[in-house]
Amino acid sequence: MFFLEKSMLFRTFVPQMKKILTQILLTLLAITTITSCKDDESYAEQKEKERKAISAFLAREPLILLDASGDTLLNTPRINVISQEQFEAQGMMTDASKNEYVLFGGTGIYMQIVRKGTGDKIKHGETKRVICRYWEYNIMGDSLQTTDRTFYWATNPDILDVSNNSGTITASFNTSINEGGAMYMIYGSTTVPSGWIVPLSYVNLGRYTTGTGDLALVRMIVPHSQGTTKASNSVYPCFYEISYQAMRD
């Protein structure tokens, strides 16, 4: 009789436990779904804040200071945005005297070619080492974030290993020559932000001939999706000024 009651109890207990476990699993799934939705909403809100920050930056006269000392890195009139069609009609150039920036709609990058540079563009099948000197301004933080244009980094610039494979340009930060420049040391990655690669399709990679005026120089607004890993994770846009110089073979 005892074994019969035990058997009946077991047969009753097991289905109840299955039901309880099922309810627990469904509850956990619901919680996960709600959390995911909240994460999506949070990301959407972050992107909206980024969009508004970029719009506000475009609406004002960019004034970028080196530090609290008040030294000015950049002070220009309001940015004049042009389309890719106009950019192409102008020979893949922007008019710096009008403070023109071309908007690449697919990426959200705004780019100004201040100087196209001497030399030639990187050719199909070609690999080059390129010296970059830059400063990086956090638009949402309204502050200079990183730069290698300092005495400390003067002999340790960022070096890119650049390749053109059938029109697709790729790059990585070189760490074998000088153990890496500021971007690598600060962000700890050899991955070059996508935004940095975009100008390489349009500028020439030459060397000094008559001074700094010969080096390719660009300015860009780079949204988080085209920036550093940190920018991507924290969802903030940056404004860059970058020079590109072919390294001596």
DSSP string, 202-239: TS-----SSSGGGSEEEEEEE-GGGS-HHHHHHT--EE
How many other CB atoms sit within 10 Å of the CB of residue 196? 25
Residue 100, pLDDT score: 98
Q: In terms of DSSP H, where are the helices of 60-170?
A: 84-89
Does 165 fall in a domain? yes
Domain count, the chain: 1
In terms of residue numbers, what domain contains 93? Answer: 60-246
Query: Which carries the bigger pLDDT value, residue 12 or residue 146?
Result: 146
The two three-digit tokens of residue 152, written as one number = 């400390």
The two three-digit tokens of residue 137, written as one number = 């301004």
Does 96 fall in a domain? yes
pLDDT greater than 90 at residue 35? no
176-222 pLDDT, tens digit each = 998 899 999 999 999 999 999 999 999 999 987 666 568 999 999 99
* pLDDT above 90 coverage of the chain, percent: 66
pTM of the model: 0.81
pLDDT greater than 90 at residue 249? no
Domain with 172 in it: what CATH number? 3.10.50.40
Does 40 fall in a domain? no
Does 47 fall in a domain? no
Does 150 fall in a domain? yes
Residue 19, pLDDT score: 46
The two three-digit tokens of residue 175, written as one number = 């760490």
Does 13 fall in a domain? no
Does 27 fall in a domain? no
98-118: string of b/e by CB count within 10 Å (b at 16+)? Answer: ebbbbbeeeebbbbbbbbbbb
> Residue 132 — left, alpha, or beta (φ > 0 → left; ψ -120 to 50 → alpha)?
beta
Model confidence at 228, pLDDT cuts 50, 70, 90, reads: very high
User: What's the longest Cα–Cα distance across the chain?
Assistant: 105
Does 117 fall in a domain? yes
The two three-digit tokens of residue 128, written as one number = 């080059």
